[in-house]
Amino acid sequence: MGEFVEVAEARTLSGLRLVLTLGVPGPWSEAAKGILYVKKIPYVRVRQELGGPNTELTEWTAQATAPVAIWNDEPPRSTWIEQLFLAERLEPTPALIPDNIEERMLMFGYCNELCGEHGYGWSKRLMLLHTVLTDSGADESARAFASHMGNKYGYNQEEAEAAPTRVANIVTTLGSRLEQQQNNGSRFFIGNQLSALDIYWATFAALIQPLPHELCPMPAGLRAMYINTDPVVQAAVKPILLEHRDFIYHEYLELPIDL
């Protein structure tokens, strides 16, 4: 397991620091790690406490979540798109953003549906919280944690109930895109080479079906939460999507996943 440093120590360091949640394969964090792995960019792991106050992190980065990328004395980057552009600047090769403007616009559109507000990851998180918050049999600690996270990420019942359909639409579109690309002789979402979108899908697919334990060790309770049980979402998951996840991990990303 990669070593973690505390925020106080990380603030004294130079170079790239990446704030991560110890022991949790959060899709945004795993995507950031994957991008840096592909580009062979070294970084220091900084510990964020899941559900904790993270007071020092807030003082440093003006927020308390992970991932956050901090390069030297530049402002912290806490969004996926900022982190991607930083990685492209620090190590342009291999490029994960297409040069072709139409492919670039297409890639960022799909990425936003996966990673952005009200997208796939956002909606799946609402579904996880909704399951606990509407379960009368859930224990108090689980409800308290879900309530805390719901307040943090803007949970509301109406959006949570609409989330499965939203997720299914995104997943269906991604599956159709891969089938189209396969018919054109490509194994990638965009063009004929690896892009950030391939990495984002590979990591965000964990919210439907995590990699097996030997490749992604994680607490049993967390694994059970990640595995999709919603029938609307499951009906949209074409085999090609998980096949693509496996292809990207085995060919390009670090295995087993180091949490």
> Which tokens in the block code for residue 190?
């965009």
Give dist(CA 94, CA 92) in Å, integer: 6
Residue pLDDT, tens place only, 195-215: 999 999 999 999 999 999 999
Residue 133: pLDDT band with limits 50, 70, 90: confident
43 pLDDT higher than 70: yes
Residue 67: strand, helix, or coil: coil
Residue 145: pLDDT band with limits 50, 70, 90: confident
77 pLDDT higher than 70: yes
Of 108, 112, 129, 115, nearest to 205 by C-alpha is 115
Give me the pLDDT at residue 1, please: 55
Give me the pLDDT at residue 129, please: 85
Cβ neighbours for 2, distance < 8 A, ≥ 6 positions apart: 45, 258
Give me the pLDDT at residue 236, please: 98
CATH label of the domain that carries residue 240: 1.20.1050
First to last CA, the chain: 6
Q: Which of 39, 63, 90 is the last residue of a domain?
A: 90
* Strands annotated E in 2-145: 4-5, 16-21, 44-48, 68-71
Task: State mean pLDDT over 138-150.
Answer: 77
Give dist(CA 207, CA 219) in Å, integer: 14
95 domain residue, yes or no: no
Give me the pLDDT at residue 19, please: 98
Domain residue limits at 218: 101-252
> Which tokens in the block code for residue 58?
């807030």
Beta strands at 44-48 and 16-21: parallel, antiparallel or unpaired = parallel
Same domain? For 184 and 241 the reply is yes
Same domain? For 240 and 137 the reply is yes
227 pLDDT higher than 90: yes
Peptide bond into 25 cis (omega under 30): no
Same domain? For 142 and 209 the reply is yes
Residue 190: pLDDT band with limits 50, 70, 90: very high
Q: Which of 86-95, 125-134, 149-158, 189-198 has the lowest mean pLDDT?
A: 149-158
Same domain? For 183 and 109 the reply is yes
Same domain? For 69 and 170 the reply is no
- Judge contact between 179 and 238, C-beta under 8 A: yes
Task: State mean pLDDT over 146-159.
Answer: 79
- Judge contact between 48 and 19, C-beta under 8 A: yes
Task: State mean pLDDT over 8-19.
Answer: 98
Number of structural domains in the chain = 2
Task: Look up tokens 């970084």; give the residue.
Answer: 43
Chain mean pLDDT for the chain: 94
Same domain? For 59 and 85 the reply is yes
Residue pLDDT, tens place only, 84-128: 999 999 999 999 999 999 999 999 999 999 999 999 999 999 998
Same domain? For 77 and 109 the reply is no
